[in-house]
Chain A
Amino acid sequence: MKIDVHYFAWLRERLGTGRETVETEAGTVAELIDELRARDEGYAHAFSDTGALRAAVDQDLVEFDASLDGAREVAFFPPMTGG
């Protein structure tokens, strides 16, 4: 399946892109992270500390064990700093 993956803040800067379409068989957010890490050193480094990252599926904040079943859009970003 194809999923739109978005990156924000320092993760976007580190990866050099804010958005890409990913062809994946991942069943969960964590599995998608494993696939991204396996791509190259840049991704492996950016996703090395998942404790410093948050994820959203179809624009809802989720835990990393969340299912990607039917998902169209996944986003990764550092903890939010609004207000």
Chain B
Amino acid sequence: MEPVRVQKAAFDPGQELNAFSATVPGAGAVVSFSGITRDLAEGALDVMEIEHYPGMTEKALSAIHDEAMTRFSLTGAMILHRYGRLAAGDPIMMVATAARHRAAAFAAAEFLMDYLKSRAPFWKKEVTPEGARWVAARAEDEEALTRW
């Protein structure tokens, strides 16, 4: 299984987690996080469009993956991120980490999420009946990096 995947196609987080777990024998802990397309308050999201920078995306995610492997002495890690058009409720992305013990697996999953939030070249656009708007980056996401 490729540890870093960027794809247009939908995926099943449960299936991905099982496949990942099968590749990390000896790990005592597996942690996963799935990001799901959130609807707007009024149920008004027609579609979420995710744009990315082919080439740089894979390069950035691979660097983040390798950094996590080393820093947390992981048995394995995977990152999967979609682009294209998504509907509310669709899984957008997931990360999974495997380690000897749970503390490293939890921390590594948070590390991966914090980094890919503001260091992987993806941009989200919400399309509603009233029009479309680019999702603004949040200062908290940038600040979250300072803890690592």
Query: Does A associate with B in a complex?
Result: yes
Q: Is A43 positioned at the interface, with any CB of B under 8 Å from its CB?
A: no
- In the complex, the answer to whether A83 meets B93 with C-beta atoms within 8 Å is yes
A residues with a Cβ closer than 8 A to B are 6, 8-10, 12, 56, 59-61, 75, 77-83
- In the complex, the answer to whether A59 meets B59 with C-beta atoms within 8 Å is yes
> Chain B contacts of A75 at CB under 8 A?
53, 56, 121
- In the complex, the answer to whether A80 meets B55 with C-beta atoms within 8 Å is no
- In the complex, the answer to whether A81 meets B124 with C-beta atoms within 8 Å is yes
Q: Which residue of A lies closest to B133 (CB)?
A: A10
- In the complex, the answer to whether B35 meets A80 with C-beta atoms within 8 Å is no
B residues with a Cβ closer than 8 A to A are 35, 51, 53, 55-56, 59-60, 81, 92-93, 113, 116-125, 134-137, 141-142
- In the complex, the answer to whether A82 meets B122 with C-beta atoms within 8 Å is yes
- Bound-state CA distance A3–B102 (Å) is 47
- Bound-state CA distance A82–B115 (Å) is 9
- In the complex, the answer to whether B51 meets A82 with C-beta atoms within 8 Å is no
> Chain A contacts of B134 at CB under 8 A?
9-10, 78, 81
> Chain A contacts of B120 at CB under 8 A?
80, 82-83
- In the complex, the answer to whether B118 meets A79 with C-beta atoms within 8 Å is yes
Besides A79-B118, A79-B142, A82-B119, 11 new A-B residue pairs in contact (Cβ under 8 A), listed by A number: A59-B55, A59-B59, A60-B56, A61-B60, A75-B56, A78-B134, A81-B137, A82-B81, A82-B116, A82-B120, A82-B122
